[in-house]
Homo-oligomer: A and B are copies of this chain.
């Protein structure tokens, strides 16, 4: 086999090997998909948008969304786990707010896309 410099490769196996080497790792692909999955639920989208308006406590969120407190709590747990929201306790109330503005940027990218 000759030692060639080949910039315009046509051998299918070599093309596949080259592409495979440029492919993101399974772990990164997994982490990314897990991240976007958070936005892949209607309830979580509504909660995040609501919290972008102002800090809100659990039963107010549930009331706005016309959902059960338990369902909201479960989703808040996921949002907290992925550090998209933060928590402030005040007496009997637990107030949730967005953890960073970055989130709304991603959110708005989505809005731009569906509006195009």
A-to-B contact residues, CB < 8 Å: 12, 15-16, 19-20, 22-24, 26, 28-37, 39-46, 49-50, 53-54, 56, 60, 63-65, 102, 105-107, 109-114, 116
Contact = CB atoms under 8 A, between A and B. Distances in A.
B40 A26 contact: no
A33 B40 contact: yes
A60 B109 contact: no
B111 A16 contact: no
Copies in the complex: 2
A113 to B, nearest CB: 6
B40 A40 contact: yes
Nearest to A102: B113
Most chain B beta-carbon contacts within 10 A, residue among A36, A37, A109: A36
Contact of A39 (B33, B44, B60): B33
Given A16-B64, A105-B109, A45 B33 contact: yes
